[in-house]
Structures are given as structure tokens and as C-alpha cells.
Structure 1
Amino acid sequence: MEFKKAFTQLLHEVREQKPLVHHITNYVTVNDCANVVLALGGSPVMADDKNEVEEMVAIASALVINIGTLNSRTIESMILAGRQANKLGIPVILDPVGIGATQLRTKTAQEIIQEVKISVLRGNMSEVKVLSGLAAKTRGVDSGDDLQGGREIAINLAQKLNCTVAVTGAKDIISDGIKTAFIENGHPMLAKVTGTGCMATSLVGTYCGVTKDYFLAAVAGIMTMGLAGEKAYQALRGQDGIGTFKEKLFDYIFNLSPDEMMEGAKLDVQ
């Protein structure tokens, strides 16, 4: 119960402080990521030119790096921004989208991890397995793996990288190497909308912008998306489909209350 109270307090802090969340993210979901940060109560900025990323990071509360649509120009910007964030004590949240699908993605994620201290890593099971040096099944940017053995994988990678690792799927697993949380909120419809994983990472980044407890922030961000998925699906009527579902995701996050987080959380922390 005390843990649940702590992450509902984070929701209050986000809406009070309106943290600026700097994104270097992919162009498929960039608009959705910006809007989900706004819906939660934060302030998004999407700047990826190497000539301004260090200045932008300097005024931000958190940095989100998403490798969904890589190119040589933004890879350099990601490293520059990440180093600056580390220098200034600003949390860095990494989403290694599709790592394992191509050599470029794998090499880039590994380079970022080597050059930048990550606060939270958020990925699906295939992505986390690749970063852990394990065999994984990757279909484009989608996971081909289930969550079997996920607890140990998350704990080991969190200890290896000295960060919080969030593995999202049918059952979300979040670990900082000591504490591990299991979240069973969500709905299968989330997987039918492009970008819900990216948006979850942006939510985590927004919560990270108001606390130094990045494990707590990761739980709050993943929980928020899971609850929104449940509520959005429950609100569908008649011929409503994924378009309406996506709209309702934003509406629910915008209207999310601490009481709803407390009451709706399907959470186990060990």
C-alpha cells in the first residue's frame, strides 16, 4: 500500500512541476510521444540536431532516447545528449526498439550503453534478451519471445547496467537489481496500436523528471499505460476500433486520478 501511495504522489508531482522531457525519438511515433507527455502533465520537446541537443538537455528534467528510426545523424546526437545528461545529473531513459533485428540497431544500442549511463531501460523481452547476450526472436520491432524467465533476466541486466530495467509484455517486469515489480494491468488491444511501447517509455521519462527513484518512476509509467489500456478498452462501444481506442488512451491518461491508480493497480513488488 505504501508503494502505491508513493507512485500516486509522483502523478501529483508531474502535474505540479510539469517536467520538460527531451526526446530524441523515432518519427513514426514522435507525435504520440509528445501528446502522451502532455496528457500526463509534462512538457515534451523533440530536438535531435547535434548542434542543439546539449543545450536542450541542459534545461530538461529527463532525456528519452528511442532508436526506432535510426540514422547516422541522430546516433551522434543521442551520444552527445546522453553524455551531457550524465554530466548534469539528468536521467536518461533508453528504448532499444528492434535491437537484434539488424546489426545497426544492435551496435547502436550497445554503443549508447557503453557511452552513456542509463537510468531506465524499457523494452520488450526480445530486446532485453539481446542486450543480455541471450538468444532472442525478433520480428522487425516486435518481440517473438514470451516472458518466461523474465524475472532473472531483468534482475541480471539491471545489475549489469546498474539501472532499472522494465520488460513490458502480457505481464510487465521491472527491476532495479534488488527490488522487482510485476504488473498485470493492460489489454491485448495495446499491441494493435503502433507506438504504445514508445509512449510507455515517454511516460516513464516524465515520471523520472520529478524523482530520483527511477524504479518507482518506471513502475508508475508502465502502470499508467496499462491502466489506460484497460479503461480505454472498457469504454469502447459498438463498432469502435483501434482509432477510438487510441483516442481514449490519451483521454484516460489526461483524466487519471491518484485514486484510480491506487484502486486499479495490479501490482506485486518483491
Structure 2
Amino acid sequence: MQSHYLPLVRSQTPLVHCMTNLVVTNFSANGLLALGASPFMSVTPEEIAEIQNFAQALLINIGTINETDAKAMLIAGKAANKAGVPVVLDPVGVGATAFRQKIIKQLLAEINFAVIRGNAAEIAFLAGINWQGKGVDAVTGGDAADLSRLAKTVAQKYRCITALSGEIDFISDGKNVRQIQNGTQLFRKVTGSGCLLGAVIGAFLGVAQPADYFAASIEACAVYAVAGELAARDLSRETGTFAINFINRLGTIDALQLADKARISEI
């Protein structure tokens, strides 16, 4: 594919306000820095509305959610909507507990999200479809038609872009679906790999116009997957080495590598 947004991320350094979980804060911040974006990590209620006045994107990730953070996320999301800042939702483990389901229901009711990113189990829950999953773990299984349908259903339901990530990524705007057949199984062995993808999507949205969010999301997912594929070369089980290599690859991946390696097709 031809890269359009990656050079803009590196030249414009979009600030991504990450309201993310405690497990992945460091990994997400370093990943954004490597990519060329600027992370701002805060869940402090006293400042989160103000941050939207200078942020280029907001990520809301419920991985280690509590009542205080949930209230702060509502404030930030509404302020971002008012300021025209794109908001990305990562509904981590939404099907695992009633508390998470309550929080997500409120967030979706009160905030307009540009993109929802999740694994198959999380996206299936939002679609109202039964799908076997274990908490926050990514789930394998389901053919391309099933996964494509899940992505499209959630995009239509919430009037947003859906990025369903897994062995194959599916991105939909509710009408169209693209699949990306890149990546590596080692992503599943590094905690926070999906969470960082949500932040990266935010960075790409931060340099795009709203009409182009679908294209920007596709490129963000492709950059991420190809960087992972390149990082995993010559590795088999070295998950710690992979995590470091992956951050390095986010910093070095270029338009030529993306054009050569990305395997994107329309469904």
C-alpha cells in the first residue's frame, strides 16, 4: 500500500492523550514515541478536559478501570467531542464482568467514538453476538466472513470505524471491510500489544481529516502489523526480545517497507 499518514505522523508529531490501563502505560508511551507521535498519559480529573484543547487524539482504554477513572473518561470524551478531537475506544475485556459492561454502555451512550478497537471477543460482545473468550485474551477462530461481519456490525451500530485485531485484522466503516494479513503470533505473548495499537490508531487519526479516518485506520493497522512481522524475523519464542525489536521497528518502518510487505485486501 502507499503510505500517506505515516510521514505526517512523523512530521507533525500528534499528541495522543492516553487514558489507558496501568499494565501498558510505559509500553504505550514508548511505542508512540518510537513511531514519532507524542504521548500524554493522564487520568487526572482536574486537567483532562483542558488537555483536549491541545491534543490531536484521545484514547480511552478500560483495561484497569475503576469508578474514578470511568468518570474522568466521560469528562475527557465529551470535551474531545466538543473540541473535534477524535476518540478511540478500547473496550478491554468488556464481556468479562458486569462492571465493565456497565462502564462501556455509559461511554458508548455519551461519547461519539471515531474508532473502536478490540479483539474478536470484545467486538462480538459489542455486536451482541455470543463468542467464546477468556477475559481480555485475544481469541482465535472464526472464518473471515464471520469476523468481517462482526467488524461491520459494530461499525454500523455505533457509527464509527471498527478495527478488529487478531491473526488477521479487519477494519470496517460499516459499508466496506479491509483485511490485513500481516503480523505475528508473538503479539499474543506481549501484554499491551493490542492496547498500543489503539494509541497508534489515535496518532494516525490525529493527522487525518474525519472523512479520511477509515483510510488512516487501515494504514495504522498495516504499519503496526508489518512492524510486528519485521520484528519477529529470526525469533521463535523470545517474547522479551520481540517486544524490544517491535518498538525499534515502529521507529524505523518506512513507506517502502509498507508498500512491499503489507497484504491488504477488500472483503
- Map of 1:230 onto structure 2: 229
| Structure 1 unmatched ranges of 5 or more | none
Matches of 1:196 and 1:53, distance apart in 2? 25
1:171 aligned residue (168, 175, 178): 168
Structure 2 portions without partners, runs of 5+: none
Question: Residues 98-133 of structure 1, C-alpha deviation per residue, up to 9 Å, x if partnerless?
Answer: 010001111111111110000000000100111111
TM-score (norm 2): 0.95
Q: Distance in 2 between matches of 1:78 and 1:254?
A: 29
CA distance in 1, matches of 2:9, 2:266: 23
Partner of 2:240: 243
RMSD: 1.3
Partner of 1:108: 103
SS of structure 2 residue aligned to 1:45: strand
Matches within 5 A, 1:57-206: 57-144=52-139, 146-148=141-143, 149-206=146-203
Aligned position for 2:205: 208
Question: How far apart in 2 are the matches of 1:145 and 1:161?
Answer: 24
Tell me, in whole angstroms, the C-alpha distance in 2 between the residues paired with 1:230 and 1:256: 11
Contact 2:57-2:205 within 8 A present in 1 as well: yes
Alignment partner, residue 264 of structure 1: 261
- Contact 2:20–2:60 at 8 Å: present in 1 too? yes
CA contact (8 A) 1:137 1:145 kept: no
- Secondary structure at 1:211's aligned position in 2? coil
Alpha-carbon offset, residue 32 of structure 1: 0.6
Checking the alignment, whether the CA contact within 8 Å between 1:126 and 1:145 is kept in structure 2 is no
CA shift, 1:88, in A, is 0.9
> Would you say the 8 A contact 1:147–1:171 is kept in 2?
no
Q: How do 1:31-46 and structure 2 match up within 5 A?
A: 31-46=26-41
Measure, in 1, the Cα distance between the counterparts of 2:159 and 2:141: 24
Moved over 4 A (4+): none
Q: CA deviation at 1:160?
A: 1.3
The answer for the alignment partner of 2:217 in structure 1 is 218
Q: Deviations over 1:6-58 (max 9, x none)?
A: xx120110011000000100010011111111111000000101111000121
Question: TM-score normalised to the size of structure 1?
Answer: 0.94
How far apart are 1:144 and its partner, in Å?
3.9
Q: Report the CA distance between 1:235 and its aligned residue.
A: 4.4
Instruction: Give the fraction of aligned pairs with identical amino acids, expressed as a percent.
Output: 38
Q: Is the 8 A contact 1:32 1:195 kept in 2?
A: yes
Q: Structure 1 residues 71, 255: closer, same or farther in 2, change over 3 A? A: same
Report the Cα distance in structure 2 between the residues aligned to 1:145 and 1:126, rounded to whole angstroms: 9
Aligned equivalents of 1:31, 1:178: Cα separation in 2:
36
In 2, are the aligned partners of 1:137 and 1:143 still within 8 Å (CA)? no
